[in-house]
A and B are shown apart, each in its own frame.
Chain A
Amino acid sequence: MAGLDPRRTALVFFDMLKGYHYDKDGRAIVPEDKGLADACVRIRDVARQYGIPVVYAAADHRPDHKDASPVITDLDLRRPDPAPDPNGPAGGGRVVHGSFTSEVIDEIKPAPEDYEIRKHRWSAFHQTELEISLRARDIDTIILAGGSTEVGVASTAYSARDLDFSVVILRDACHSGRGAAISDYFVNDVGPQMARVRTVDETIAMLRDGGRNG
């Protein structure tokens, strides 16, 4: 298996926010997302060990909605969002500007040297400083984790591929707000065409190989 050169690789967490993964009080992760958070922590710790830049791409929208996406979708036309599940994550999986819901989960809390990319549409590359931030330090590969897989992770992976970044999609560190089956299909049946799809452990092994050979 080809290695990953830690000097040319970045780790990108997509929307790992409390609004999607914490309980109502914002105190703790919901039980079903503990495995996801653990996977994120493991890859983050290895990234720190190698000095790999860690990027947090997170939604940023004006409270007055003036920068909201105006596009017409089937979801809006036919299927208004269901009422929030009282036992589900905070705000029914919504992120509200200026509240704890828009914070990155504490498990992988950003450090001052990390990159925080405020994004306004789905792709983390769309009108953000992500591309220049990566190119400026000769990064050619991104490791991608977070969710939702078929929304922001997918959009970011398509963009990265077209910008000539190699992408490693972390199979066990991606999730979809609409269930594991939706996430898994994208990862397994669509991902391999544009990316390498690997577990966190496989990726750690690739970094070890790349670090040694580089």
Chain B
Amino acid sequence: MAEPTLDPRKTAVLYFDTLKVYLYDDQGKVRPEAKAQVAAAQRMLQTARSLDMPVVYAAADHRTDGADWSTAITDNNESRFVEIVGKRRLKPATVRTSGGEEVIDELAPQDGDYFIKKHRWSAFQGTHLDLSMRTAGVDTLCIAGGGTDVGVASTAYAARDRDFNVVILRDACRAARKEIDEYFMDHVFPRLGRVRSVDEAITLLQAGANGQKTL
């Protein structure tokens, strides 16, 4: 079946938690295991800039006093639960003043970008992402970042239910383990959207920019 191209006027690139705390080492350099992911994310950004596409950064934002931290009880992360503001809550990897909550320099935001401060996993939950995308005429989200099974997946499920087309940028996403990435890319995401490499997405966008409907 011919594949629909991507119209750059209706497609946004969403970078999920591409933050220094997750992607830099102690010296402020990209961690070795994240280098390929960051390089792919950078190629996507260059194309997005050249085609004047909306660029969205969804980034964790948590109060320092713990009052807005998640209270859902889980099997994992037992050691990160603390009794604070009346409930047992999950201490986030980054809070407002802990440092490292900036987007990495390689994907530096510029004026006009969308900045979504998110307080749970999904970039839609309790944020203005849905409204911002609809008013901008965006119907498709290309998602990069991580973790694949955490925020990327949560945002992809939410986008699907809101009728946004989803393109998961396979080589620009990363989970803690390769096997988890493969599970989502092969078995979960193909059902809710398209899984494409950055280069494949760029080809679809350039064709769309040239007025081609299918490829």
Contacts and interface: CB of A to CB of B under 8 A. Distances in A.
Q: Do A and B truly interact?
A: yes
A150 B158 CA distance: 14
Interface stretch (A21-29, A105-113, A185-193): A185-193
The 4 closest A-B pairs by CB, nearest first: A74-B190, A192-B75, A121-B161, A162-B120
A196 B74 contact: yes
B161 A73 contact: no
A136 interface: no
A195 to B, nearest CB: 6
B149 A164 contact: no
Interface string B127-168: 000000000000000000000011001100110111111100
Contacts of A165: 72
Interface stretch (A34-42, A54-62, A64-72, A89-97): A64-72
Interface in A103-147: 121-123, 126, 140-141
A158 B157 contact: yes
A86 B197 CA distance: 38
Interface string B88-130: 0000000000000000000000000000000011100100000
A198 B34 CA distance: 34
B194 interface: yes
A75 interface: yes
A163 B120 CA distance: 8
A161 B164 CA distance: 21
26 contacts: A69-B160, A69-B163, A71-B165, A71-B166, A72-B4, A72-B193, A121-B160, A121-B162, A123-B158, A141-B73, A150-B187, A150-B191, A151-B191, A154-B188, A161-B74, A161-B120, A162-B154, A164-B70, A164-B71, A166-B73, A186-B183, A186-B188, A189-B149, A190-B149, A195-B72, A196-B75
A71 B76 contact: no
A83 to B, nearest CB: 18
Given A154-B188, A167-B72, A186-B183, 17 more contacts: A70-B163, A71-B163, A73-B192, A73-B193, A79-B190, A122-B160, A123-B157, A123-B158, A158-B154, A158-B157, A160-B72, A161-B70, A161-B74, A161-B120, A189-B149, A190-B183, A193-B75
Interface in B33-80: 70-77
A194 to B, nearest CB: 6
Nearest to B190: A74
A158 B190 contact: no
B26 interface: no
Interface of A: 2, 69-75, 77-79, 121-123, 126, 140-141, 150-151, 154-155, 158-167, 178, 182, 185-186, 189-197
B1 A78 contact: yes
B154 A73 contact: no
Nearest to A195: B74
Contacts of A197: 75
A75 B191 contact: yes
B99 to A, nearest CB: 24
A159 B183 CA distance: 20
Nearest to B177: A189
Nearest to A120: B161
Interface in B157-215: 157-158, 160-166, 179-180, 183, 187-195
Given A121-B160, A122-B160, A162-B125, A74 B195 contact: yes
Instruction: Give the one of A70, A75, A141, A190 with max B CB within 10 A.
Output: A190
Contacts of A75: 190-191
Contact of A189 (B122, B164, B180, B193): B180
